[in-house]
Amino acid sequence: MQGPPARPPLVLASASPRRRELLCQIGIVPDEIVDSGVDETARPRELPAQLAHRLAAEKAEAVAVLRPQAYVLGADSVVAVGRRALAKAESAEDARRFLALLSGRRHRVLGGITVIAPDRRRASRVVVTSVAFKRLSAEEIEGYLASGEWRGKGGGYAIQGRAAVFVKAVNGSYSNVVGLPLYETHALLAGLGYRPPWPGP
């Protein structure tokens, strides 16, 4: 007697350790992680939501070509102030400039997610979370820079780390600010037929 058919693998099209950790938090363990190699540079006049959507889709598409029998999850996070997208901080000067811009105001984190199923069906979402920062002193900014936590982070901060003390309010998905909106990601995977190896909707 044959058992149930094997579940297609899930491939995470992102090298971000935070995204893998977030998926594991809800019992979804990627079978493989493949860096898509997609250039994350924004196009001229591209709005933050458009950028998040495009990068998530391009990451998923690039890896789906390599892993056609798998579910492929592409994701990208964009920190935005108004119509301006803030890149990942590559230097202390980047992070200092970003933190000064975010100080005492609200900004948005836009999480783009795209899932491509083995039968080539796809689903995408852009999840928006509003984050309010307190007003930061020069000493607070310099202290945070000294921690090194800002390296490679969109907007120059990590909400799950020391920057949590800067955050007055979060309106929307907290996990989206960390790196992946879990409710929406689970819903997209389930809608395309992916079933994690644990009971659930």
Active site residues: 76
Q: How far apart are CA 148 and CA 89, in angstroms?
A: 11
In whole angstroms, what is the distance from residue 23 CA to residue 27 CA?
Answer: 7
138 vs 161: CA distance, rounded Å: 19
Q: What φ, ψ does residue 18 adopt, rounded to 5°?
A: -65, -40
Q: Report the amino acid identity of residue 144.
A: Y
Residue type, 51: L
How far apart CA 100 and CA 113 sit, in angstroms, is: 29
| Nearest CA-CA partner of 126 in 111, 141, 114 | 111
Residue ranges of alpha helices (H) inside the chain are: 17-25, 48-66, 92-102, 138-147, 174-178, 182-191
3-state secondary structure of 156: coil
Q: Distance between CA atoms of 187 and 87, rounded to whole angstroms? A: 28
